[in-house]
Amino acid sequence: MPSRRQLVRKILMLGTSLVVARSARAIATPEPAMKSTARHEVKIEEENQFMPEILHLIKIRAAQDKVYQAVSTAEGIRDWWTRDAALDSKVGGAGEFGFYGHRMVIKVKVAELTPPKHVAWEPVSSTGGGFDGTTISFDLKSEDGVTSVLFAHRGFKASGENIASATTRWGFYLLSLKRYLETGNGAPNPEDTELIR
């Protein structure tokens, strides 16, 4: 069975604009079936439970280092995700992202940074607890002036409305990232008026 890293590389090489992979036991499924799924569940063998996982793959016509800066710094994040962003961009650093006038807040710890290829955060607290105990990562790969961003949000405790809402919002904000890097105009919160609150 391929490792998670091998699967990520394979997904990056597929060249789809927005992709979410299937469950771990379906890794051997033909590639067209992988492209059509809307969410991913990972089996946690020790607990014999499934944990929902969000994956998106998006291609951006921008240099990899520019994409890396947009996802790894508060200045970059303010242009596509939320204007209310504070982030200490070093491993172990803290971040705080506010939404809707600070009614929703996500606090993270920077878990991994591998410039200009990889960023990972561990949410330590979030309003309502929906992101607590999850991981958020961005894996970047560039070819011919196009950077592929594989986004993953893993470890949700349960599926349902929370993960459905998070899937929609992440898709919206990743398209905002693409628009920001390609045109200079993202749609970060509170300018995300297309999302109904």
Tokens of 82: 């939320």
In this prediction, residue 159 carries a pLDDT of: 76
In this prediction, residue 46 carries a pLDDT of: 45
Given pLDDT bands bounded at 50, 70 and 90, which one contains residue 17? very low
Predicted TM-score (pTM) of the model is: 0.76
**Residue 41: pLDDT above 90?**
no
Domain ranges of the chain: 4-82+142-183
How far apart, in Å, are the Cα atoms of 180 and each of 19, 66, 80, 81, 124? 20, 11, 6, 10, 28
In this prediction, residue 6 carries a pLDDT of: 52
- Return the higher-pLDDT residue of 17 and 116: 116
Percent of the chain past pLDDT 90, that is, above it, reads 64
In this prediction, residue 158 carries a pLDDT of: 79
* From 11-20, 110-119, 131-140, the region with the lowest mean pLDDT: 11-20
Give the three-state DSSP class for 169. Answer: helix
In this prediction, residue 187 carries a pLDDT of: 96
pLDDT tens profile 75-112: 999 999 999 999 999 999 999 999 999 999 999 999 99
In this prediction, residue 40 carries a pLDDT of: 44
The rounded distance, in Å, linking the Cα atoms of 67 and 138 is 10
Given pLDDT bands bounded at 50, 70 and 90, which one contains residue 38? very low
CA pseudo-torsion sign 62, 65, 68, 69: negative
Decide the pairing of beta strands 104-114 and 118-126.
Answer: antiparallel
Angle between helix 161-183 and 64-72 (nearest 10) = 130
Task: Determine the CATH number of domain 4-82+142-183.
Answer: 3.30.530
State the amino acid at position 9 in one-letter form.
Answer: R
